[in-house]
Every structure is written in structure tokens, then in C-alpha cells.
Amino acid sequence: MPRNTMRLILHVPDGRGGDEAVGVKEYVFQAATTGDVWDWVTKINYAAAMRTVGTVLRVPAAATAPAPQARAHWDRCLSNFLVKAGAATSVGIVTSVLLFRKKTWPVALAAGFGLGVAYEQCQRSFDPNVTLNAVRVPKQA
């Protein structure tokens, strides 16, 4: 058998509850990698164990590709993360060199601020109704 190939032999029961098999079906699977073969073996073992116990397996809903609009949101978020983190890290490096004698904490602090702002903007782009935890102060007359 070629590499990454698996042979599955099924004994088809007679349908009357007996142990005798009416026929044998043989399937050959070929996968791209050895990991894919082991993934198939794991899933087949799981299905066989569930069938032995009498549990009915549900067929999962077909996975759908993300909508182009959601993909655009994620692309914008990723680029925003990279730009904000890069710019803030640059400011942190300059601040560290000029003011703090090359300490590392200004760089980490600035990068954290940049990532925090990018995260907030990404969250807002997915759900515009997200608000910051702000308290309204009533106007005094």
C-alpha cells in the first residue's frame, strides 16, 4: 500500500440482530499526511465506540466560509493591530532611549497601550453598540 493509506474493512450485519455478516465492504483512504491518517483513525474509532454503546451520532452542520464582510473586518483589525503596536512600540523605544537610559519598561508599556487601543477599535468595528464604561455626570444648574 502507498504511504499515508488506510484500509477500512466493514462487516455488514444481516439486519436480524445476529452476529453473522451478510457481506464485507472494503474502503481504501489515502491522505496527504500521516497526521491526516491518524485523524481518520481517531474519528472512525470514536464513531465505532458510539455505535457500540448505542449513541446516535449527529451530523454537524456544514461549515460555511466567513462572509466577505467579516473577512474585511478581520483584515482591518489585523492591520490596525500591526500599525498601532508598531507605532506605539516605536514611541516607546524613542522615549526609552531619550528619557529613561534604555530601560525596557517604556517599550512594553507603549506596546500595551497600542494593542489596547487596537483591540478596542476592533471590538467597536464588529459591534458599534459597544460603549466604554463611562459615567454620565448630570449638569448642575
Using pLDDT thresholds of 50, 70 and 90, give the confidence band for residue 83. Answer: very high
Whole-number average pLDDT of the chain: 79
Distance from C-alpha of 55 to C-alpha of 12, rounded to nearest angstrom? 19
DSSP class per residue in the chain: --TTEEEEEEEEE-SSS-S-EEEEEEEEEE-SSHHHHHHHHHHHHHHHHHHHHTPPPPPPPPP-PPPHHHHHHHHHHHHHHHHHHHHHHHHHHHHHHHHSTT-SHHHHHHHHHHHHHHHHHHHHHH-TT------PPPPP-
Residues sharing a CB contact under 8 Å with residue 109, sequence separation 6 or more, in sequence order: 92
Q: What is the mean pLDDT of residues 7-36?
A: 75
* The pLDDT of residue 79: 92
Whether residue 130 has pLDDT greater than 70: no
Distance from C-alpha of 36 to C-alpha of 42, rounded to nearest angstrom? 10
DSSP class per residue in 24-41: EEEEEEE-SSHHHHHHHH
Region of poorest pLDDT, from 104-113, 122-131, 132-141: 132-141
Q: What is the pTM assigned to this prediction?
A: 0.44
Whether residue 42 has pLDDT greater than 70: yes
Region of poorest pLDDT, from 34-38, 86-90, 100-104, 126-130: 126-130
Whether residue 113 has pLDDT greater than 60: yes
Using pLDDT thresholds of 50, 70 and 90, give the confidence band for residue 57. Answer: low
